[in-house]
Amino acid sequence: MSNNSNSKFVSENIGLYVHIPFCRTKCRYCNFYSVPITEYDSAAVISAMIAELKRYEPDKNTKTIYIGGGSPSCLPQKLLLQLIYEVTQHAPSAEEFTVEVNPGQVDETLLNQLRKAGVNRLSIGAQSFIQQELALLGRTHNVDSIYDSVRLGRAAGFDNISLDLIFAVPCSSLDSWKQNLRRAVELQPKHISAYALTWEDNTPLGRALAAGEIQQVDEDTDREMYELTIDELGKAGLCQYEISNFAKKDFQCRHNLNYWANGSYIGIGPAAASYINGQRCTNSADIGRYVEAIESGTSPAAETETLNSLERACETAVLNLRRRRGIDLAEFKTRTGFDAAELFAEPIRMYQQQGLINAEDGHVFLTRKALAIADSILCDFAAV
């Protein structure tokens, strides 16, 4: 079990997430489908996002900023920098400021401007170091542009660089995935996120699968790829601190640590979600409706949900268990008022017997054996 995160941080500070919809797939952060911002008047959308941001008072407790949702680098540079300026005015005390970029969409000028504006963490959507896989995933960049983006990022002063990778891509193998991992490690990033390919019906890949044009990687190979990820990145000094995330010491993504602790965060933009004091508001994923709501002075929220204390406790447990450190029992009781060992006694007992959960040193956490099937286990903590 690794226990590197700062529980005081995740208990007291607020995150700010700015969502810029770039593609038609489901965003893993907001869980909504979005139409690309590039199909709208980008200037009008950014103006609306800035107006939404200004509805919140600047808060010195906002310590992390994350601008993502696909790739903010798809925006004209002037608009992106305008947005970043407004965000920094709202969160002048932010200590970690991440911007997602796609290879091939950044150049020396933009990266220098981002760094000068206060961005100190760069998340690069590499996805794969194999050109055939990039083409299959519908990515417009090539392998060389990944190397160029990392090189230019470092030249601009970014020491904290993260790479996103996708495994279980059709036609891939355990050997090709090992090649991907080793090429990523050679670039010496401080952080790597590795996700299995998710299949969505309304995407080109989903339609090709339905038509029998491509096949999914079989379940056993998918699992072997995940196990290989843990081993290869661990040998490279990138410790697993969450199911899909690996980092050098002291370079865990603080913004996401706050999310997995079920801490508070403000979401700005189409489809973005906010979670404050147990209330979750999710903005409309329809960009036109979002802009119209902001311009008319009404709420852009499409859904609002207030969790009761038990629901909050269950949600906190599910998110905590994604971390390798799992549920910190003392932290959990302080945050929720519940004793996790008592509240979840039955699933803990059952999964301990199966070797899927351990309980020691004041923590309840998934064993390595459980990580590949975590979603099915976490369902039993989602409600009691």
According to the 3-state scheme, what is the secondary structure of the chain? CCCCCCHHHHHHCEEEEEECECCCCECCCCCCECCCHHHCCHHHHHHHHHHHHCCCCCCCCEEEEEEECECHHHCCHHHHHHHHHHHHHHCCCCCEEEEEECCCCCCHHHHHHHHHCCCCEEEEEEECCCHHHHHHCCCCCCHHHHHHHHHHHHHCCCCEEEEEEEECCCCCCHHHHHHHHHHHHHCCCCEEEEEECCCCCCCHHHHHHHCCCCCCCCHHHHHHHHHHHHHHHHHCCCEEEECCEEECCCCCCHHHHHHHCCCCEEEECCCCEEEECCEEEEECCCHHHHHHHHHCCCCCEEEEEECCHHHHHHHHHHHHCCECCCEEHHHHHHHHCCCHHHHCHHHHHHHHHCCCEEEECCEEEECHHHHCCHHHHHHHHCCC
156-180 as b/e, with b when 16 or more CB fall inside 10 Å? bebebbbbbbbbbbbebeeebbeeb
Q: Sign of the C-alpha dihedral, residues 107, 112, 117, 118?
A: positive
Q: Give the per-residue pLDDT at 33.
A: 38
Cβ count near 43 (within 10 Å): 13
Q: Which of 162-166, 178-182, 253-257, 380-384 has the lowest mean pLDDT?
A: 380-384
In whole angstroms, give the CA distance from residue 124 to residue 192: 10
DSSP β-bridge partners for residue 306: 279
- Per-residue pLDDT band for 139 (boundaries 50, 70, 90) equals confident
- Per-residue pLDDT band for 70 (boundaries 50, 70, 90) equals low
Average pLDDT over residues 58-82: 89
Q: Give the per-residue pLDDT at 131.
A: 95
* Residues near 354 by beta carbon (within 8 Å), at least 6 away in sequence: none
Q: Give the per-residue pLDDT at 226.
A: 97
For 110-125, the pLDDT digits (tens) are 999 999 999 999 999 9
The topology under which CATH files domain 7-260 is pyruvate-formate lyase- activating enzyme (3.80.30)
Pick the more confident residue, 137 or 67: 67
pLDDT of 12 > 60? The answer is no
Q: Give the per-residue pLDDT at 28.
A: 39
For 39-59, the pLDDT digits (tens) are 668 899 999 999 999 999 888
Domain boundaries, the chain: 7-260, 326-381
Q: Which of 2-16, 48-62, 192-206 has the lowest mean pLDDT?
A: 2-16
pLDDT of 97 > 50? The answer is yes
In whole angstroms, give the CA distance from residue 267 to residue 283: 8
Q: Give the per-residue pLDDT at 312.
A: 96
Q: Give the per-residue pLDDT at 72.
A: 87
Q: Write out the two tokens for 46.
A: 């950014």
Report the chain's mean pLDDT, rounded to a whole number.
Answer: 90
Of 103, 244, 231, 229, the C-alpha closest to 172 is 229
In whole angstroms, give the CA distance from residue 313 to residue 347: 15
Contacts of the segment 111-118: beta carbons below 8 A, 24+ positions apart: 111/152, 111/153, 111/155, 111/156, 111/158, 112/156, 112/157, 113/77, 113/81, 114/81, 114/84, 114/156, 115/156, 115/157, 115/158, 117/81, 117/84, 117/85, 117/88, 118/84, 118/88, 118/94
- Per-residue pLDDT band for 294 (boundaries 50, 70, 90) equals very high
pLDDT of 31 > 70? The answer is no
Average pLDDT over residues 277-291: 92
Residue-level length of the chain: 384
pLDDT of 27 > 50? The answer is no
Q: Give the per-residue pLDDT at 39.
A: 62
Of 272, 370, 265, 277, the C-alpha closest to 321 is 370
Pick the more confident residue, 127 or 7: 127
Burial of 228 (0-12, 13-18, 19+ CB in 10 A): middle
Q: Give the per-residue pLDDT at 32.
A: 39
Q: Give the per-residue pLDDT at 38.
A: 56
Q: Give the per-residue pLDDT at 10.
A: 37
Q: Sign of the C-alpha dihedral, residues 137, 140, 142, 146?
A: negative
pLDDT of 23 > 70? The answer is no
Average pLDDT over residues 81-90: 95
Average pLDDT over residues 338-354: 98
